A and B are shown apart, each in its own frame.
Chain A
Amino acid sequence: MTTKSYTALWFRHLKTDWFQLKQPALRDKPFVLSISDHGRKLVAAADPKAESQGIFRGATVADARAIIPGIEVLDDIPGLSDKLLGALAEWCIRFTPIAAVDAPDGLLLDTTGCSHLWGGDQAYLQAILTRLQARGYDVRGAMAGTIGTVWALTRFGRQAVIPDPAHQRDELLRLPPAALRLETVTLDKLQKLGLVTVGQFAHMTRSVLRRRFGQNLLRRLDQAFGREEEFLQPLQPVEQYQERLPCLEPIATATGIGIALQRLLEALTKRVQKEGKGIREAQLKAYRLDGKIEHQKIATNRPTDNAPHLFKLFELKIQEIEPDLGIELFTLEATKLEDLSPVQEELWAGDQGLETRPIAELLDQLTGRFGSGCIRRYLPDEHHWPERSIKPAQDLSEKPAIPWRTDRPRPTILLPQPIPIQVTAPVPDYPPLLFRHQDKVHQIKKADGPERIEREWWLEEGPHRDYYCVEDQDGARYWLFRSGHYTGDRDQQWFLHGYFP
């Protein structure tokens, strides 16, 4: 089993730090954040200057005003610390994929196997702390083998990296019981009994501890000493198929992004290939220096493990990534995978129909650029009504359920909306003698028809259509129809609907 490694971060003045960041004027004077509670105002958070004068969380604002006359009192924002911790945890994903919020003022990171990228545990922890401190947060951190230990160390011990379990134990034994994340009742009991360090009761018999202080104390002790596994609730579920590429220097050019993308794709496709899967959807995330994250997503029509093709799809989107000051981490995850059956190499390359890889790749490229709705393929549908005689196919592999009909003449150009025309028809139910369309009179020389197509009453109501194929004096062939029966008095019942070749 590999040794685990966790890092805890503790933001001692999370909210006041944030207020100072937002309002730099607050930096020089003591201030508190207040909340209303049962008609009085309580201090929700105090900045280090106010704390040095003895104003802590839970005091009344009136007391604070008495200690420091003219202290700045600002309204607390409800839910602020959760929001800030969430954002900070997301930011920490550049250091490790598993980051969790430890309410109300801390973060827990699973840093197993991450630190070598920064040149060792010490440098890694230092990098995190320096970056956060540079942003203006008062933060403490420690790194050790269990969550319990790191939590205790950040709050009560020293900011250190302690990989060795024996050392961890020694460190823990010296800390007060509060370092074990216990509830106030238990802490009071321990205090009353004069047990002021963990070392004073850690060696006691388990049954004794359980009877006096409850199961929770034992659980916390076990967690701290690594006898019981503790799990983090990651902020973002870790994608199974994810590749990460941290950059030594921030990347700000399209070429750089392209190279990073190529490396990630190669690594990801290699992994996917081994498991006989293909990528249907992939997402690239670029973590910027200023804390923002750029997303780009692509989708394919069929599962693929072809890295150059996926790169081509992403290539169209590289221009949309704004690197700003630079990107320090890229992650690429396959959000949707499908089984990919191995393709047999074609001995006779030639016409292979629709279901070939190059066509699917071309369509991916086209939909990637123009949106998914622009490509259509049609299948015959069981309707006589011309507009409804075809339906869009769902995917490339769908085959026509009924054969295409060739027994009735159908034009190659069908107008989306039939155009009203004026006609002269001698006898009812006869093809017209001439028709006028766009101020041109067409003498009809030859005609076929009528072909009566009834409207499907179960779908919509309206008159039927009598279709005629007609040819004018120039040889142009048209598809005309009369809507409904001949009435004689009604205008506008003839329409032009299509052109025959």
Chain B
Amino acid sequence: MPAANADIIRQLQREILPLQGFKPPTAGKAVDFHLGPIAAAFPNQIFPTGAVHEFLSRTPPQSAATNGFLGGLLAPLMKNGGACLWITGKRTCFPPGFSIYGVPPDRLLFLDLPKEKDRCWAMEEALKCEALTAVIGEISEIGFTESRRLQLAVEQSRVTGFLLRHNPRNPGTVASVARWEISPLPSEPEEGLPGIGFARWQTTLLKVRNGRPGSWVVEWSAGRFQFPEEAAQITTLQTHHATRKHRTG
């Protein structure tokens, strides 16, 4: 009986997911983000595109780290020549900083709007435009109703939206598929080398709809996301295995 129940529940979940906006990517369109263990936190083990993600940040270094992580996400999204609209209040974003992530800065369109309300409107309109690959909106104070409108827009157009919320007064509930917080971590320089190593972040998934929140250490090196902790685990396991083999052999 319990086995049958679990089967029914799994079946129901599979039916509910598309209704909640988790549509599996169409064939040949799946994008590999190299998110490894983070992707596993999402339903279907796929980082959801065509949805709205929310990023919280409190300090400028956190915003910079969020930008870096976003760069890593945008690069595979935009690799087929797509364009991205970035809606800012006060432009501090420096386009050349993104070329290292493989995002062509000339394909980022910036829209400067000082009013939060205008940014909301613009983001909704932009999310309805299917020709865009991604829309990034710096909207700190957004209510549930407004975010629901964004969600409805992306469900139609399958554009990926990123909400950057810097120091929101009240994070509240927002209709987003996931809520992230990216904080910088001290880098680990290569052995024997001076200076700063690869950018490293503590990536926290505070909320995931139908997924498992968690926290991971992510490093950007060799043009993709790397997971140093996991790698360390694997190497320790391998050495452990090797020593055991050696002993038995």
The chain A residues found within 8 Å of chain B, CB to CB, are 349-354, 356-359, 361-363, 365-366, 369-370, 374-380, 386, 389-390, 393, 399-400, 404-406, 409-416, 445-448, 469-471, 473-478, 498-501
B94 to chain A: closest residue by CB: A414
Please provide the chain B residues from 48 to 70 with a CB less than 8 Å away from any CB of chain A in the complex: 59-61, 63-69
| Residues of B close to A353: CB separation below 8 A | 81-83, 107
B78 within 8 A of A: yes
Whether the pair B97, A412 counts as a contact (CB closer than 8 A) is: yes
Could you tell me the distance between the alpha carbons of A476 and B182 in the complex, rounded to whole angstroms? 12
| Residues of B close to A446: CB separation below 8 A | 186-187, 189, 194-197
Q: Which of B104, B105, B109, B130 has the most CB of A within 10 A?
A: B109
Query: What 1/0 mask marks residues of chain B from 68 to 84 whose CB sits below 8 Å from any chain A CB?
Result: 11010000001011110
Whether the pair B118, A362 counts as a contact (CB closer than 8 A) is: no
Closest CB of chain B to A291's CB: distance in Å?
36
Whether the pair B63, A499 counts as a contact (CB closer than 8 A) is: yes
Could you tell me the distance between the alpha carbons of A404 and B125 in the complex, rounded to whole angstroms? 30
Could you tell me the distance between the alpha carbons of A477 and B199 in the complex, rounded to whole angstroms? 9
Whether the pair A499, B106 counts as a contact (CB closer than 8 A) is: no
Whether the pair B106, A447 counts as a contact (CB closer than 8 A) is: no
| Residues of B close to A499: CB separation below 8 A | 60-61, 63-64
Not counting A369-B121, A370-B113, A477-B196, a sample of 4 additional A-B residue pairs whose C-beta atoms are within 8 angstroms of each other reads A380-B106, A406-B99, A475-B185, A477-B199
A362 to chain B: closest residue by CB: B129
Whether the pair A448, B82 counts as a contact (CB closer than 8 A) is: no
Could you tell me the distance between the alpha carbons of A447 and B189 in the complex, rounded to whole angstroms? 11
Whether the pair A370, B80 counts as a contact (CB closer than 8 A) is: no
| Residues of A close to B99: CB separation below 8 A | 404-406, 410
Closest CB of chain A to B77's CB: distance in Å?
8
Interface secondary structure of A, over-half rule: mixed
Whether the pair B97, A354 counts as a contact (CB closer than 8 A) is: no
Whether the pair A477, B61 counts as a contact (CB closer than 8 A) is: yes
Whether the pair B71, A404 counts as a contact (CB closer than 8 A) is: no
Q: Which of B94, B129, B133 contacts A413 (CB 8 A)?
A: B94
Whether the pair B131, A359 counts as a contact (CB closer than 8 A) is: yes
Whether the pair A350, B29 counts as a contact (CB closer than 8 A) is: yes
Whether the pair A377, B196 counts as a contact (CB closer than 8 A) is: no
Please provide the chain B residues from 149 to 198 with a CB less than 8 Å away from any CB of chain A in the complex: 183-187, 189, 194-197
| Residues of A close to B200: CB separation below 8 A | 475
Known: A412-B71, A446-B196. A351 touches B63 (CB 8 A): no
Interface secondary structure of B, over-half rule: mixed
Q: Which of B93, B121, B195 has the most CB of A within 10 A?
A: B195
B183 to chain A: closest residue by CB: A475
| Residues of B close to A356: CB separation below 8 A | 131
Q: Which of B85, B99, B186 has the most CB of A within 10 A?
A: B186
| Residues of B close to A473: CB separation below 8 A | 186
Whether the pair A354, B100 counts as a contact (CB closer than 8 A) is: no
| Residues of A close to B208: CB separation below 8 A | none
Could you tell me the distance between the alpha carbons of A128 and B63 in the complex, rounded to whole angstroms? 68
B85 to chain A: closest residue by CB: A362
Known: A351-B80, A446-B195. A501 touches B67 (CB 8 A): yes
Which 7 A-B residue pairs are closest in the complex by CB-CB distance? A501-B68, A351-B82, A476-B61, A499-B64, A414-B94, A412-B97, A412-B67
B122 within 8 A of A: yes
Could you list some 9 contacts between A and B, CB below 8 A? A352-B131, A374-B113, A378-B105, A404-B99, A412-B71, A412-B97, A413-B67, A414-B92, A414-B97
Could you tell me the distance between the alpha carbons of A448 and B125 in the complex, rounded to whole angstroms? 43
B144 within 8 A of A: no
Could you tell me the distance between the alpha carbons of A477 and B92 in the complex, rounded to whole angstroms? 16
Could you tell me the distance between the alpha carbons of A410 and B99 in the complex, rounded to whole angstroms? 9
A400 to chain B: closest residue by CB: B106
Whether the pair A377, B81 counts as a contact (CB closer than 8 A) is: no
B214 within 8 A of A: no
| Residues of A close to B94: CB separation below 8 A | 386, 390, 410-414, 498
Whether the pair A413, B92 counts as a contact (CB closer than 8 A) is: yes
B132 within 8 A of A: yes
Whether the pair A375, B97 counts as a contact (CB closer than 8 A) is: no
B201 within 8 A of A: yes
B60 to chain A: closest residue by CB: A499
B186 to chain A: closest residue by CB: A475
Whether the pair A362, B132 counts as a contact (CB closer than 8 A) is: yes
Known: A376-B110, A446-B189. A354 touches B83 (CB 8 A): yes
B200 to chain A: closest residue by CB: A475
Whether the pair A404, B187 counts as a contact (CB closer than 8 A) is: no
Whether the pair B199, A359 counts as a contact (CB closer than 8 A) is: no
Known: A351-B81, A353-B82. A378 touches B63 (CB 8 A): no
Could you tell me the distance between the alpha carbons of A473 and B104 in the complex, rounded to whole angstroms? 32
Q: Which of B132, B184, B196 contacts A469 (CB 8 A)?
A: B196
Whether the pair B131, A476 counts as a contact (CB closer than 8 A) is: no
Whether the pair A406, B100 counts as a contact (CB closer than 8 A) is: yes
B98 within 8 A of A: yes
Closest CB of chain B to A353's CB: distance in Å?
4
Whether the pair A501, B118 counts as a contact (CB closer than 8 A) is: no
Whether the pair A474, B184 counts as a contact (CB closer than 8 A) is: yes
Whether the pair B97, A399 counts as a contact (CB closer than 8 A) is: no
Could you tell me the distance between the alpha carbons of A470 and B61 in the complex, rounded to whole angstroms? 12
Q: Which of A362, A376, A415, A501 contacts B65 (CB 8 A)?
A: A501
Whether the pair B64, A412 counts as a contact (CB closer than 8 A) is: yes
Whether the pair A448, B60 counts as a contact (CB closer than 8 A) is: no
| Residues of A close to B71: CB separation below 8 A | 412, 501
Whether the pair B118, A370 counts as a contact (CB closer than 8 A) is: yes
Could you tell me the distance between the alpha carbons of A393 and B110 in the complex, rounded to whole angstroms? 11
Closest CB of chain A to B137's CB: distance in Å?
13
Q: Which of A359, A411, A412 has the most CB of B within 10 A?
A: A412
